[in-house]
Amino acid sequence: MHPEKTISSDFEPKVIAFVCTWCTYAGADLAGTSRMQYPSNVRVLKFPCTGRIDPVFILKAFQQGADGVLVSGCHPGDCHYIAGNFHARRRFAAFRKLLEFVGVDLQRLQFSWVSAAEGGKWVEVVTELTEKVRAMGPMMEFKELALEEQWSGAMISPELQDAYRQI
Amino acid sequence: MSRIGVFICHCGENISRTVDVERVAAHAAALPGVAYATEYKYMCSDPGQTLLKKAIREQRLTHVVVAACSPRMHERTFRKAVEAAGLNPYLCEMANIREHCSWVHEDREQATVKACDIVGMMVERTKKNRVLPTITVPVTKRSLVIGGGIAGIQAALDIADSGHEVVLVEREPSIGGHMAQLSETFPTLDCSQCIMTPKMVDVANHPKITLYTYSEIELVEGYIGNFQVTVRKRARSVDERTCTGCGVCMTKCPQKKIPNKFDQYIGMRTAIYVPFPQAVPNTPVIDRENCTRFKTGKCGVCQKVCGPGAVDFEQQDTLIVEAVGAIVVATGFDLYSISEKPKGSPIKGYGEFGHGKIPDVIDGMTFERLASASGPTGGKIVRPSDGREPKQIVFIQCIGSRAREKGISYCSKVCCMYTAKHTMLYHHKVHDGQAYVFFMDARTPGKSYDEFWRRSIEEEEAVYIRGMVSRLYQKGDKIVVMGSDIAVGVQVEIEADMVVLATAVQPQQGADLLAQKLGISYDKYNFYSEAHAKLRPVECATAGIFLAGACQGPKDIPETVSQASAAAAKVMTLFSKERLEREPIVARVREVGCVGCFACKKVCAYGAVEEKEIRDRQGNLLRVVASVNPGVCAGCGTCQATCPSKCVELDGYTDEQIVAMIEAL
């Protein structure tokens, strides 16, 4: 019926958003109450503050097959917990360098400030990241790594299963 | 082994319209650890909650996931219900499948898949939830009210009348705010001063109210029930305790030509001044920027003539720390100055209407001061340029308001009514004059409001022209107003003597800075945000802080007073308890692993991390570890993300819980 729909790739990116309760989560709620529309690819994880977000979670998300990760909190100066977002900003500035070093395309990781009143901005940020990641295609680096490593996804390989059976 | 119950809400049709709730329930039922899954039309309703409680008992559930609206909406409701059924409330979590799913996606298949994912994620998280004990904290039964306009005054009086102490802080030298500036009020044409000044006196005389005028909030620390607020009391240069308010200093001050802000800069005042004769407190302030003594070191007449010796040129700002349990924010509004583009603001100016360039183009508040019996003209409506009575006057509405292209899309709400009032006041004072009003729509909802507006047309002969003004220009001593009458479809040109612009209502300047000190949220116009638009309209999302008046959005006087009393009632409810229950979302240190690096202490904005010494039985110091004071911890979790040995844990947001959620995806 809609030829242009079938032409577009089947790839649906997986986007994970780490957001703070006070600003971005509330902003996303506002997008809902305003009945704005955005791609359904995003899964939201609520934190009290962006300061709580450990960089390990971002790695974990990529490892679990996320194609894009969004971290979003209160605007600088507006943190509900005085300065949590500043700690987060500093932490992620350093973390980006590390990610770049290990070979993750930084285009897949987005930081933004979305306040409780910015439902529209939430929609923009999510849509933009989803479309960017969709165009980039699936994130294979970590998935391949996971397969190579025995302690993770490789459990399902026939060789290993055989080995286990023999034990 | 956990026995989780999953309850999926239809929310009428709000969720079930786009999400296949039955499929979500079936998906949830198949998840490991889930013992029971069902869906119901309204989970939050009484039968819905009963269903939940019954299932907890009958199915021996250990954890509960409610998939419904945002936790910001009903988390408390469901946690209470779970508690009533005998479970610890923190074993209940909400999966947001309304705001974050059914309302933002149209495709039923995609929305259903997403809802299944969200539920799955929350099920995995909930498995790791632990029983959290309730933490109680003491309540300081004193309250702070910021802003001394009608909202702040009403809230302060209501709280003080209930027997609790109130600290009222006002930035200007006198309380009264904008309402003290008004001449009459709609729809009754009560004299504003007559209803306002007695309340101001009540505040000054109330034994439970401590009043700080000419003061600002410097710092806010603490949390609900236990705030410490630092107030900067600016140097008045006049000692409030010794000044008798006789006013001799003001009559002798040689600087007499300083435009008075209270009179919208059309009246003049001296350098040592009270903003208006009915000011409370009636203690003058020296405006150091304009005082000869402060500028040149000479003069000092006021000090010489002051009988009680109250004038003190050496006075310094003082910082006062007040302990309070609740805060009411009532900072009110300001009128948007349209003559120029405000600095750093996305809002564009209205240079085309000549405000600030043509002296007889004034704003609504200036008209109030002209019409007020206590104003600079003694209530005579005259032109600021030459003092003549205007025989033709044009009012233009919606200046700045409802103008998306200028940066403000909201309606300022009060302008239709006050313009109708202005035409009446004008007609009462200038019998042979004619008032014209250019308007887009007349918005007059409110008790007796539409009748009032009609009266301005039918009895007071105001001519209403539907349409906007394209241009104004000075021609001789007249102002030519060019506009269109879209009802008739013709161009209109009026030679007016005076033009009054109904400019947009905006939050006070610096409203964002105060919000940052308080830790409350605000919208893109700097209006403060309430916790819930409908159900919690006077509370901030930040516990213990309440809103009153136009700082939250444009409001007229009756609405402001209602909201102020509502905020006061909320404060009294808070003060009715000896101890407050607070969320046990606090950090804890695993002392076994702590190496005592105190990185957590450095990042804690609240000073909640303390050093704890661990000693053996002989009292020898073994090591020093971090320890979190749960009474002070606000629960942001920055310490946990910082801890290099992963020995701090934020209850309710442990690494275990979050990793479980990520792994569920």
Question: What does the alpha-carbon distance between residue A86 and residue B367 come to, in Å, rounded to a whole number?
Answer: 47
pLDDT, greater one: B544 or A156: B544
Nearest to A87 among B515, B638, B658 (CB): B638
* Confidence class for position A140, pLDDT limits 50, 70, 90: confident
Whether B518 and chain A come into contact, CB under 8 Å, resolves to no
Q: How far is A37 from chain B (nearest CA, A)?
A: 5
Whole-number Cα distances in Å, B410 to A140, B335, B553:
47, 14, 9
CB A142 within 8 A of CB A63: yes
CB neighbour list of residue B235: distance below 8 Å, 6 or more residues apart: B288, B315, B316, B317, B318
Q: Which residues of A touch B108 (CB under 8 A)?
A: none
Q: Are B99 and A32 an interchain contact pair (Cβ–Cβ within 8 Å)? A: yes
d(CA B446, CA B365) in angstroms, rounded, equals 22
User: In chain B, how many H helices and how many E strands?
Assistant: 17, 34
Phi, psi of A47 (to 5 degrees): -125, 155
Closest CB from A29, A65, A123 relative to B72: A29
Q: In terms of CATH architecture, what is B337-506?
A: 3-Layer(bba) Sandwich (3.50)
Cβ <8 Å between A57 and B516:
no
Contacts of A65 in chain B (CB under 8 A): 665
**Chain A neighbours among B 605-624 (CB < 8 Å)?**
605-606
Probe site for chain A from B93, B100, B221, B633 (most A CB atoms < 10 A): B100
Phi-psi region of A64 (alpha: psi -120 to 50; beta: other; left: phi over 0): alpha
Using an 8 Å CB-CB cutoff, list chain A residues near B98: 32
Give tens-digit pLDDT for B582-600: 889 999 999 999 999 999 9
Residue B101 has which token pair?
A: 């799913």
Q: How many angstroms away from the CA of B366 is the closest CA of chain A?
A: 33
Which of B106, B638, B650, B657 to mutate: most A Cβ within 10 Å? B638
Q: Do A49 and B650 touch (CB under 8 A)?
A: no
From A158's Cα to the closest Cα of chain B, the distance in A is: 23
Tell me if B111 and A60 make a contact (CB, 8 A cut-off).
no
Mean pLDDT by runs of 10 across the 665 residues of chain B is 93 95 96 95 95 96 96 93 95 96 95 96 95 90 97 97 97 96 94 93 96 96 91 95 93 92 90 94 94 92 93 95 97 82 59 79 93 92 93 93 87 95 95 95 93 95 93 92 93 95 91 91 90 88 92 96 97 94 90 93 90 93 92 90 93 94 91
Q: What is the least distance, in Å, from the CA of B657 to any CA of chain A? A: 11
Per-residue pLDDT, A8: 46
Cβ-Cβ contacts under 8 Å for A154 (sequence gap 6 or more): A146, A147, A148, A160
pTM: 0.83
Please name the member of A43, A60, A123 whose beta carbon is closest to the beta carbon of B118.
Answer: A43
The predicted pLDDT at position B534 comes to: 86
Backbone angles phi, psi at B475, to 5 degrees: -135, 105
Nearest CA in chain B to A74: B521
Mutate to test the interface with B, among A23, A25, A62, A81 (most CBs of B within 10 A): A81
Q: What integer pLDDT is reported at residue B330 of this predicted model?
A: 97
Say whether residue B100 is in contact with chain A using an 8 A CB cutoff.
yes
Which residues in chain A have their CB less than 8 angstroms from residue B113's CB? 40
Please check whether the domain covering A12-138 is classified as CATH 1.10.10. no
Q: pLDDT tens digits for A98-139?
A: 888 888 899 999 999 999 989 999 999 999 999 999 999 998
Residues of B within 8 A of A78 (CB-CB) are 515-516, 521
pLDDT at A3: 41
Whether B100 and A32 lie within 8 Å, measured CB to CB = yes
Give CA B203 to chain center in angstroms: 22
CA distance B569 to chain A (A): 25
Q: What is the dihedral of CA B157, B159, B165, B170, to 10 degrees?
A: -50
Give the minimum alpha-carbon distance from B641 to chain A in angstroms, rounded to a whole number: 5
Nearest Cα residue to B557 out of B459, B421, B400: B421
Q: Is the CB of residue B477 less than 8 Å away from at least one CB of chain A?
A: no
pLDDT digits 0-9 by tens, A39-50: 999 999 999 999
Residue A123: its chain B contacts at CB < 8 A? 104
Comparison of pLDDT for A83 and B213, the residue scoring more: B213
d(CA B153, CA A98): 55
CATH number of this structure's domain B587-663, picked from the four choices 3.30.70.20, 3.40.980.10, 3.30.70.920, 2.40.30.10? 3.30.70.20
Check: CB of residue B544 under 8 Å from CB of residue B225.
yes
Tell me what ipTM this predicted complex has: 0.86
Fold agreement between B4-134 and B337-506? no
- A58: closest chain B residue by CA: B662
Which chain A residues are closer than 8 Å to B585 by Cβ?
Answer: 48
Residues contacting residue B259 through CB under 8 Å, at least 6 positions apart: B265, B266, B267, B268, B269
Confidence of residue A149 (pLDDT cuts 50, 70, 90): low
How far is the alpha carbon of B635 from chain A, nearest alpha carbon, in Å?
Answer: 7
For residue A104, the model assigns a pLDDT of: 86
- Please measure the distance between the N-terminal and C-terminal CA atoms of chain A and give it in whole angstroms: 55
Q: Would you state the CATH architecture of domain B4-134? A: 3-Layer(aba) Sandwich (3.40)
Of B335, B246, B255, whose CA–CA distance to B283 is shortest? B246
Instruction: Using an 8 Å CB-CB cutoff, list chain A residues near B663.
Output: 60, 64
The minimum CA-CA distance between A34 and chain B, rounded to whole Å, is 8
**Chain A partners within 8 Å of B107 (Cβ):** 40
The dihedral over CA atoms of B537, B543, B548, B552, expressed in degrees to the nearest 10, equals -60
From chain A, pick out residues whose CB is under 8 angstroms from the CB of B524.
117-118
The nearest alpha carbon in chain B to A62 belongs to B662
Instruction: Name the CATH superfamily housing domain B142-234+317-332+516-575.
Output: FAD/NAD(P)-binding domain (3.50.50.60)
Count, in order, helices (H) and strands (E) of chain A.
Answer: 7, 4
**B-chain residues within 8 Å CB-CB of A82?**
519, 605-606
**Of residues B96, B106, B605, nearest to A37 (C-beta):** B106
Residues in chain A, total:
167
Between chains, do B637 and A23 touch, taking CB under 8 Å as contact? no
Find the helix packing angle between A55-63 and A84-102, rounded to 10°.
40
Residues sharing a CB contact under 8 Å with residue B494, sequence separation 6 or more, in sequence order:
B392, B394, B436, B480, B481, B483
Chain A residues with beta carbon closer than 8 angstroms to that of B515: 78
For chain B, the distance separating the N- and C-terminal CA atoms, rounded to the nearest angstrom, is: 22
User: What does the domain layout of chain B look like in residue ranges?
Assistant: 4-134, 142-234+317-332+516-575, 248-305, 337-506, 587-663
* Chain B residues lying within 8 Å of A44, measured CB to CB: 96, 100
Instruction: Report the pLDDT value the prediction gives residue B348, as an integer from 0 to 100.
Output: 62
**Closest Cβ opposite residue B650 in set A23, A52, A66:** A52
The pLDDT tens digits for B292-315 are 999 998 899 999 999 999 999 999
Chain A residue with the nearest C-alpha to that of B99: A32
Taking 3-state DSSP, the helix, strand and coil percentages for chain B, each rounded to the nearest 5, stand at 30, 25, 45
Contact list, B105 vs chain A (CB under 8 Å): 37-38, 40
Report the residue of chain A nearest B113, measured CA to CA.
A40
Residue A2 has a pLDDT of 44
- What pLDDT shows up at residue A164? 65
Helix orientation angle between B108-127 and B21-29, rounded to the nearest 10 degrees: 30
